[in-house]
Amino acid sequence: MRAFVFAALGTAASFAASAQTYTTFDVKGADTHLKAVALDGTGTLLGSYQDVHGVMHAFLRAPTGKIKHIDVAGAGQCAICGTLPEGLSSKGIVAGTMVENNGNAHGFIRAKNGTVALFDVPGSEGQTVVTGIDDKGNVYGWYNLPARACFVRKPDGTFSSYDPNDLPGCTSVMTSGTGQTAGYAYDSQAQAEVAFLRSPKGKVTAFRPFSAPSSEPLAINDGGDIVGFYYDRAQKIHGYLRDSGGSVTRFDVPGAAFAATAIAANGIIYGLSFDSMGRSHGFIKDRGDAVLFDVPGAVTTEPRVVNANGTVAGDYGDSNGDWHFFLRN
């Protein structure tokens, strides 16, 4: 149910005045599915893209603009195969998933010096999927053995597994630099997804925003604030903000559809809003109404991540149908 949040709202959206600075750039070989994955405090960007054959690749872009391509040895060369980065620690360690031609998935850790180590949760038989890394080097994700469960891999190579409140189908979605993990599990009785937060010490808290039948988290910041979406009893979808204290606030963004993609340390929410033509625009939501923005000259704008300095990274499409990356300061 990984989807954009659809909102039946009739109000018009306002666009932000362009007072920000935009830096746009291209990555050699990138064709489609461009994604800004993580942006650290120095301005180093971890990203991914598909080439013309559909193979996934990773890259690091330094603050100077220099780009280093990352392809894990043994990665498949088929569509949707390849190297899928999922996290960047403050020490420059990259974690992600390598997918072979046969579809087997393995976790990988790339040290700052470029050394790569592959790993699997013991017994998972090529079904290990990484979803993040914290600043201490702990790696997070999920695996099938054969039932799905979530895991934490410590820097010493030891593993621990967990299921939130013994619910099946654990899927960790993202991890903050402080080691807080958000995800969802499956409530088989209610036929719905239940969101959860796992603390750095291993305490798992399942929650249902406004007693919603189904909900998923979409982003988390270092303070433990979570943004996501939920279905109400009428099966309408709304956004939610769950702060670090557990208080939940509903929000909606004007447009035919919307999805939160990031939440800054100060609680400002970023995401996508789709107009009636299906074109995406970026949005910023602080305490008031959401304000839309676009990269100058863009047809579509998709902000993905924000760092501690408030710099936003994402991708955009131009009038020729080509895709590019951007930074917004």
pLDDT value of residue 3? 38
What pLDDT digit, counting tens, does each position of 249-297 carry? 999 998 888 999 999 999 999 999 999 999 999 999 998 889 999 999 9
Is the pLDDT higher at 55 or at 235? 55
Query: Given this model, what pLDDT does residue 231 score?
Result: 84
- The per-residue pLDDT for 146 is 79
- % the chain with pLDDT above 90: 81
The total domain count for the chain is: 1
Asked if residue 23 has pLDDT above 60, the reply is yes
Q: Say if residue 30's pLDDT is above 90.
A: yes
What pLDDT is attached to residue 307? 97
Confidence of residue 11 (pLDDT cuts 50, 70, 90): very low
Whether the predicted pLDDT of 8 surpasses 50: no
The pTM for the full model equals 0.92
Task: Supply the CATH number for residue 208's domain.
Answer: 2.130.10.10
User: Which region among 3-12, 183-192, 280-289 has the lowest average model confidence (pLDDT)?
Assistant: 3-12
What pLDDT, on the 0 to 100 scale, is given for residue 9?
A: 37
Quick one: pLDDT band at residue 221, thresholds 50, 70, 90?
very high
pLDDT at 119 over 80: yes
> Of the ranges 118-127, 164-173, 242-251, which one carries the lowest mean pLDDT score?
164-173
Q: What percent of the chain has pLDDT over 70?
A: 93
Locate 153 and state its tokens: 């891999």
pLDDT at 166: 81
Q: Which domain does 23 fall in, by range?
A: 5-328
pLDDT at position 6, please?
A: 35
Per-residue pLDDT tens digits for 61-102:
999 999 999 999 999 999 989 999 999 999 999 999 999 999
